[in-house]
Amino acid sequence: MKMTLGEIEAVIRRSWSAETAYAKAGSLARAPELAERGRGQCGATALVVQDLLGGELVIADVTTAGITDTVHYWNRLGTTDIDLTRDQFLADEIVGAARVVRRPAEGLRPGAARDAYQLLRTRVYAALEL
């Protein structure tokens, strides 16, 4: 089945939940109203997008009031950046310089980040009937 990026994005957004979010508690608590717009979903989402479309993983530090307190992940396909969680940030949160990172060959280490990714991947693949 061939799908557009917009269709894939819609499926991913419908698959988000508190269980698929992974971020520091302070980051999530600072903007709970942004949960529907991808707050804390960037890591799992970027990995699922890479599973589906390939490309590179991109990461940047996020600073608030001059303090780096989290990171943001998205994807790069060729020269095009795909960031399905781009609208999760508050006005005072600044996404820094992008850098490409390698996905660990052995996968994510055990814990909440891996659980969030695996749950999101399962939901998205089921919805896409893959």
**Domain range for 38:** 5-127
Instruction: Please report which helix (H) or strand (E) contains residue 101, including its range.
Output: strand 99-101
Mean pLDDT, residues 1-23: 91
Q: What is the pLDDT of residues 43-89, one digit of tens each?
A: 999 999 999 999 999 999 999 989 998 899 999 999 999 999 999 99
Cα separation, 50 vs 130, whole angstroms: 15
pLDDT of residue 24: 74
Domain count, the chain: 1
- The reported pTM is 0.91
